[in-house]
Structure 1
Amino acid sequence: MIEVTMSTRNARHTLKRQIDIKTNDPDVPEVSVYLQATVVEMLSVSPPILNFGKVRQGLTYTKELTLTNTSKTVLVISGIEGNPPAVLNVSAECPITIEPGQSHTMTVTLAPGSTKSRFHGYISILTELEFLPRKILRVAAQISRE
């Protein structure tokens, strides 16, 4: 028996890999095994990138963020953190339990303060799933003084 583990990080839909196995058979010194797997997202985040667009310094902006459990088991969100925390805040009290096929919507607040030009931050979503302990959502904004 050969056990194979493939990273699905950043993979979507179909993942294909080839494994070359060396043998001690002089007639067949190497055998190739082709693997194909369908990557299924267990936690869907909408929107996939949270772009606040053009915003002004010193004002506060909000956008909705929806988490959907696309797995077949109960999903527990153990924590949600905005980074940097002085600029990004997520209105969510954890733990959040999401049943299979269900969603949970929350509000993300951006307070750019005196941040200049472009803002790039992220929201870290912590789960109790063995294969998805953390999911990162990128957050962007273009900040102006006017």
Structure 2
Amino acid sequence: MDIGSCLARNARRHPDKWALTCEGRDYTYGEFNRLVNRLSHGLIALGLQKGQKVSLMMKNSDYFAIAFFAAAKAGAVLVPVNFRLTATEVNYILDHSDSVMVVCDAEFANLIEEARSTVPADAHVIVVGQPAIEGQR
């Protein structure tokens, strides 16, 4: 059983039990699973296919957990990127991992933009905690 299936099973069995608490935000298994599914479907709608790589550059948070489970449910291979790295080091990881998507906290968006010179131009960068920019998906 994979990690996404474990979450789905717990959401079915215990939909109203607490799954996660972070910075004053509480999630039941049912709520958490719905958020994970929503992002997972969004990643797939953006073109993510099973086995493709998704880099995560996020601090430990509920948003990281949602992104982690969503990428796993979508069948992605997760590439964790340490947020303490320099742009050159991040560039190396993105280049050598063949990531097709990057999910990052808003505070790392500029670093990702600086580092992504080797990431394919059509690769999606999803910034968590920042309003959508007009014209971008």
TM-score by length of structure 2 reads: 0.25
Structure showing greater radius of gyration is: 1
- Structure with bigger RCO (C-alpha 8 Å, 6+ apart): 1
More helix by share: 2
